[in-house]
Chains A and B, each alone.
Chain A
């Protein structure tokens, strides 16, 4: 976690089959900060994240890590700098927490090299910082959703990358576990990691991110500090939802209150 790495998308177009999802998008991820990518369903936010993680090859344009195109870098070299946690990863049945987290060391090992003290350090740190050390011998199948998500993050941490990309890390979690996972990401960010996550909850994005990227139809509509981006107009623009943006009494950050048609004081 020495010098922060720079992740940049340049005129990036991404798609599946015949469909182009993201078109001519340029984005610079602020190093050492937490960036949240938000937007309505199917706006291309997950596609963009997959492109940034080189899980999806660009149609055109490029993704640059410290000035080098991901397409030309050896996959293992990328994996030592850039970690990625997909939306709903699945573990081999019966695998224990420790065994799963150890697999995060994959890019640091070759077929000849034995397990070393550095690997021990990385795995121990990953297990403790996500508070799953006491679960190390438990099968992953037996964990609750929140525990399981912490274990997957631990696996990504064992990879010891300076940049961590997460696709909806809070999906399927109840609100307590969502906050727990996001708090953990802030802890990780404090130790210097660059974090990029796709979130669908605007309020949580406004509270936890330093930088918010709002997308619609595969393009960036607005980006910047949460206070500049998360506005009533923008929410209407991006989500098609009328809302009030208030100050959250707990965090002092922004709170997005949807208005909707029913159960409101003001008549529509």
Chain B
């Protein structure tokens, strides 16, 4: 085997040119989307003045508008979109099923249930709703996990059981809304459609911090994802403590989804689609992780810009935009998978 020339060979490869271009294009898309969300609105701010406001050369009204009102919303879309995308990637890896994402298997619905319990019981402070959504998300994850435990194809079980749990929780949610006083039901519905309306710096601080910490932890645990992608047997053969790794990664992923849901309400589609779209563009591994985060961020930012401005004078919550996109995408995805099977 020494016949093969090894000069200069190394297994350490950087990104392929194609992948570097892809990541660059995604980053550019994200910058353009953020730029749009900062400049378009009831008052149009031209790009030069947006940059001016960001670096501090503008003052007064423009600065207030761009930095205090629009920037937190744009940052929220970026961070929440990236968090949802990464959460979806982890879920799809662990369930080994492309449909096994947190919005499909009921975690966002469960987080909404948690929030509704808090809102309808009258203690409507922002922190209490956040805690309610987090508890709801984790409790739903625990219920799905308990029902799934056992033998058989884990990926399909988790998707089917998750969809069932999600349906049950959706009817519980509807029931709670029907029983609630009208004004409570209206405010709960607004939250429940998933919106970045009214996200300001003060509401953003905690979610950003949590997403940052969870994202860092996920980065440290990334090799567990690569091992699990090979299946439980090989992962264990490679020295991974499979159950502990899964539980840890799932906790991070549930945390990422729940913190976004707590801050903005249920947002569908991003966690499902960002990992798929990224996988179509780049190889599995670290570059897929990066592309998923970028795509998630870009998807949510674009969806929010569309929701705010597509129909003049009538802002649509971003959650509805992603719900429509997600429904259409899911139909397309299932049809394509069905065609592949036949």
Q: A-side interface residues toward B, CB under 8 Å? A: 16-17, 50, 53-55, 75-80, 82-86, 89-96, 98-99, 101-104, 106-107, 109, 111, 115, 119-120, 123-125, 128-129, 133, 159
Contacts and interface: CB of A to CB of B under 8 A. Distances in A.
A128 B6 CA distance: 10
Given A86-B233, A123-B11, A106 B221 contact: no
Contacts of A98: 11, 13
A125 B284 contact: no
10 contacts: A55-B237, A75-B241, A79-B237, A79-B238, A82-B237, A92-B229, A94-B283, A104-B238, A120-B11, A125-B1
A142 B165 CA distance: 38
A101 B226 CA distance: 12
Contacts of A103: 226-227, 230, 238
Given A103-B230, A111-B220, A123-B11, A55 B285 contact: no
Contacts, number: 90
Given A86-B233, A86-B237, A89-B230, 5 more contacts: A50-B233, A53-B237, A89-B233, A93-B279, A120-B11
Interface string B65-107: 0000000000000000000000000000000000000000000
Contacts of A91: 230
B9 to A, nearest CB: 6
Interface of B: 1, 4, 6, 9-13, 151, 220-221, 223, 226-227, 229-231, 233-234, 236-241, 279, 283-285
Contact of A99 (B9, B237, B285): B285
B230 A75 contact: no
B277 to A, nearest CB: 13
Nearest to A90: B231
Contacts of B4: 128, 133
Given A75-B241, A89-B231, A90-B231, A95 B236 contact: no
A129 B6 CA distance: 13
A256 to B, nearest CB: 30
A87 to B, nearest CB: 9
B231 A95 contact: no
A261 B284 CA distance: 52
B9 A54 contact: no
Contacts of B241: 75
B238 A159 contact: yes
Nearest to A116: B12
A41 to B, nearest CB: 20
Contacts of A101: 11
Nearest to B13: A98
Taking each of B13, B237, B240, which has the highest tally of chain A beta carbons within 10 Å of its own beta carbon? B237
For chain B, what secondary structure do more than half of its interface residues adopt (helix, strand, loop), or is it mixed?
A: loop
A86 B221 contact: no
Contacts of B9: 120, 124
Contacts of B223: 106, 109, 111
Contacts of A95: 283-285
A76 B238 CA distance: 7
A21 to B, nearest CB: 14
Contact of A107 (B1, B220, B233, B238): B238
Sort A-B residue pairs by CB-CB distance and give the 8 closest, nearest first: A79-B239, A107-B239, A84-B237, A76-B239, A106-B238, A92-B284, A123-B11, A86-B233
B332 to A, nearest CB: 18
A89 B238 contact: no
Contacts of B6: 124
Nearest to B242: A75
A242 to B, nearest CB: 36
B229 to A, nearest CB: 4
Nearest to A134: B4
A99 B283 contact: yes
A78 to B, nearest CB: 7
A185 B131 CA distance: 57
Contacts of A89: 230-231, 233-234
Contacts of A93: 279, 284
A119 B1 contact: no
A109 B308 CA distance: 47
A106 B233 CA distance: 14
A262 to B, nearest CB: 37
Contacts of B230: 89-92, 103
A75 B285 CA distance: 23
Contact of A78 (B221, B234, B239): B239
A106 B229 contact: no
A80 B285 CA distance: 22
Contacts of A92: 229-230, 284
B78 to A, nearest CB: 26
Contact of B239 (A55, A106, A123): A106
Contacts of A123: 11
A94 B227 contact: no
Nearest to B229: A92
Contacts of A85: 234, 237
Contact of B226 (A106, A115, A125, A133): A106
Contact of A83 (B1, B229, B237, B285): B237
Contact of B151 (A17, A76, A115): A17
Nearest to A122: B11
A120 B284 contact: no
Contacts of B234: 84-86, 89
A162 to B, nearest CB: 14
Nearest to A74: B239
Contacts of A80: 239
